[in-house]
């Protein structure tokens, strides 16, 4: 059984975190440098953006955790450290400076950056901010770290869960950032996960890939795959459960905990999409294959016209069928059924691929709520999938029209 608890990335044994304003961002009220540190060496795994243009921190992190080990995470916001001639050098320097401050090795670090692309990152603020960052490391520091990695996010994203492996109580916590430029392929945004479960790095990577595919990879805010996307997991082993080295019952429990935590993060990120006023979730069932279910759900969530209709509380189900039609997978439109659901109720709007009479008043009442479910039944098989997104508003254009300023 997986239970949600407080504490974020510092809920598991052995982890401390902090977040400060060091001066990368001009706004002194916004934290811009985060640190997460484990007492012990951790098994580590990560997945990254599949964008061919990717941030220098990804290159450095890949090299650092190639052996499946890590001790800490350092991350700045404000500048992405992407498309810069000295990017790798700067990312390595971030690791070196942090390592010196903590008496660790530079290769012990997962390093990440988020913010404006193409602008060189100034190391001096990071160097000057590290003493405070290290001095403020705390078992209660998850919230500060979560705040320090935010860019256009409007809410902090941190959660933790508790579960049992072989009679030992284990905990897992996470912080993430993501509000715009989110359309993943292997991973999305930045997400740092900690756990005190004892699990081999290969099994950790397997679990991460399994969960990412059904959660982070089913999230889309705006169809743009970012350059710096990273989801990294550190496992300290301090819960002292029997080490997970193969896919057994304990592995399945670990995957369930990771999946619950990831789905929670994904939903919060979808709802906090840039300018968004609503979480939109598409649930597809009755597909011939899992691939068809996922592609169909993702196509609906990614449709700008569907997103705009959700903003306007317009039950324009034709846009949903249109999206299903260009999803690139085989469906029988004559079997498709579509419903809208929220706290305001549930309504059938399409059956056997054609419209049915429905109350526009009830539909409006359903779609004005801030969490909308688009229910699609393909009536053609046993597979299903969920995809997560948000509505498309005027504010999205405003935010991205002057993002650099």
Q: Which residues are catalytic?
A: 188
Dump the DSSP string for 7-57: -GGGSSTTEEEEEE--SSSS-TTS--EEEEEEEEEEEEEEEE---SS--HH
Computed over its alpha carbons, how large is the radius of gyration of the chain? 22
Cα 44 → chain centroid = 17
Q: Are strands 190-195 and 230-235 parallel, antiparallel or unpaired?
A: parallel
d(CA 234, CA 138): 17
Beta strand residue intervals within 190-292, DSSP E: 190-195, 230-235, 279-287
Strand order in the sheet with 383-390: 354-355, 345-351, 337-342, 371-377, 279-287, 383-390
* ∠ CA 163-212-4, rounded to 5°: 25
Contact 69, 201 (CB under 8 A): yes
The dihedral region occupied by 186, where left means phi > 0, alpha psi between -120 and 50, and beta the remainder, is: left
What Å distances lie between residue 306 and 26, 301, 365, CA to CA? 37, 7, 17
Cα 185 → chain centroid = 12
């Amino acid at each position: 059984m997986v239970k949600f608890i407080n504490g974020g990335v510092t809920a598991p044994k052995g982890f401390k975190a902090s977040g400060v304003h060091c001066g990368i961002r001009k706004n002194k009220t916004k934290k811009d440098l985060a640190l997460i540190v484990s007492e012990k060496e951790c098994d580590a795994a990560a997945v990254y953006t599949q964008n061919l243009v990717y941030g220098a921190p990804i290159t450095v992190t890949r090299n650092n955790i190639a052996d499946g080990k890590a001790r800490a995470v350092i991350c700045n916001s404000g500048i992405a450290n992407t498309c810069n001639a000295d990017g790798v050098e700067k990312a390595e320097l971030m690791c070196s400076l942090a390592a010196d401050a903590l008496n660790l090795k530079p290769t012990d670090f997962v390093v990440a950056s988020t913010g404006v692309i193409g602008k060189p990152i100034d190391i001096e603020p990071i160097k000057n901010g590290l003493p405070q960052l290290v001095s403020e490391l705390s078992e209660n520091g998850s919230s500060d770290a979560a705040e320090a990695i935010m860019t256009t996010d409007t809410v902090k994203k941190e959660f933790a869960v508790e579960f049992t492996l072989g009679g030992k109580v284990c905990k897992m916590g996470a912080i993430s950032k993501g509000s715009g430029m989110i359309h993943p392929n292997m991973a999305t945004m930045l997400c740092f996960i900690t756990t005190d479960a004892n699990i081999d790095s290969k099994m950790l990577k397997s679990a991460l890939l399994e969960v990412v595919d059904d959660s982070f990879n089913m999230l889309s805010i705006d169809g743009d795959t970012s350059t710096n996307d990273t989801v990294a997991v550190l496992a300290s082993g301090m819960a002292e459960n029997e080490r997970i080295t193969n896919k057994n019952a304990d592995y399945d429990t670990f995957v369930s905990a990771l999946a619950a935590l990831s789905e929670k993060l994904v939903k919060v990120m979808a709802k906090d999409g840039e300018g968004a006023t609503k979480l939109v979730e598409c649930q597809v069932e009755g597909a011939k294959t899992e691939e068809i279910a996922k592609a169909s759900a993702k196509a609906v969530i990614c449709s700008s016209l569907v997103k705009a209709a959700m903003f306007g509380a317009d039950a324009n189900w034709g846009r949903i069928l249109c999206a299903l039609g260009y999803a690139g997978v085989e469906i029988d439109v004559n079997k498709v059924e579509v419903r809208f659901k929220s706290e305001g109720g549930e309504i059938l709007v399409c059956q056997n691929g054609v419209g049915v009479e429905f109350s526009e008043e009830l539909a409006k009442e359903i779609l004005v709520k801030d969490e909308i479910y688009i229910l699609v039944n393909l009536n053609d098989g046993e597979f299903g999938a969920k995809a997560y997104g948000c509505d498309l508003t005027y504010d999205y254009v405003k935010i991205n029209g002057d993002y650099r300023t």
